[in-house]
Chains A and B, each alone.
Chain A
Amino acid sequence: DIQMTQSPASLSASLGETVTIECRASEDIYNGLAWYQQKPGKSPQLLIYNANSLHTGVPSRFSGSGSGTQYSLKINSLQSEDVASYFCQQYYDYPYTFGAGTKLELK
């Protein structure tokens, strides 16, 4: 199985700040990567697919980048509604696997 190592596990940032979350795959996943946001008590929601494509309706302050085994999610100008957990997921190969998650809080 492809292992997804996500960092940091938790993150505290101020409103308006830019934050970056990293995800490293155990092998090349050829941009087969998605990012999800999960707010407390809610189901995950798709933010980014194919490593850098913004899902419909997702604010443009979210962006994804990377290639090979290294990927990142960037949130520009952090808003209060961005407080959530974030997960990466590879879908290059079965079984689909997820990172352990990053919990983002406001400082």
Chain B
Amino acid sequence: QVKLLQSGAALVKPGASVKMSCKASGYTFTDYWVSWVKQSHGKSLEWIGEIYPNSGATNFNEKFKGKATLTVDKSTSTAYMELSRLTSEDSAIYYCTRRGDNNYYFDYWGQGVMVTVSS
């Protein structure tokens, strides 16, 4: 079955960076886009950006350009997101999700990574 297994929670200092992973299984990794979604505590969802593992093509929410970097490792079916220059506003849960090449909704989600930015 389709699974997206994300890395564990992170506690990071302001100004630092954090890199999280999303390991896919149960489907052909290169056939689906991987998106990343932010959920601040008790609030709604924000789409950060997406990457197509087959080509490395990316699309970003303008709000997160310069903040998020998306990469993949096709050999391990793993997607990565690095967030830089962290502030308290970046404290949130981050989900990876999957969508089909011709479908734009998110049919499977990872369990989420809680990132806490604190000195």
Binding site for B on A (CB under 8 A): 32, 34, 36, 42-46, 49-50, 55, 87, 89, 91-92, 94-101
Which one of B11-19, B69-77, B79-87, B103-111 contacts A?
B103-111
Q: Verify A91–B104 contact, CB threshold 8 A.
A: yes
Within 8 Å CB of B61, what residues of A? 94-96
Within 8 Å CB of B45, what residues of A? 44, 87, 89, 98, 101
By beta carbon, the residue of chain B nearest A4 is B44
Q: Verify B47–A34 contact, CB threshold 8 A.
A: no
Q: Is B54 an interface residue (CB 8 A)?
A: no
Q: Is B118 an interface residue (CB 8 A)?
A: no
Q: Is B95 an interface residue (CB 8 A)?
A: yes
Q: Verify B105–A49 contact, CB threshold 8 A.
A: yes
Q: What 4 A-B pairs come out closest when comparing CB atoms?
A: A91-B104, A95-B61, A34-B105, A43-B109
- Between-chain CB contacts (< 8 Å), 13 pairs: A34-B105, A43-B95, A43-B109, A44-B45, A49-B107, A89-B45, A91-B105, A94-B59, A95-B60, A95-B61, A96-B35, A98-B47, A99-B44
A87 and B106 CA atoms in complex are apart in Å by 12
**How many chain B residues touch the partner (CB < 8 A)?**
22
Known: A44-B109, A87-B44. 4 other contacts (CB 8 A): A34-B106, A46-B107, A89-B45, A96-B47
A99–chain B nearest beta-carbon distance, Å: 7
A98 and B40 CA atoms in complex are apart in Å by 13
A106–chain B nearest beta-carbon distance, Å: 20
Within 8 Å CB of A87, what residues of B? 44-45
B60–chain A nearest beta-carbon distance, Å: 8
Contacting A at CB under 8 A, from B87-112, are: 95, 103-112
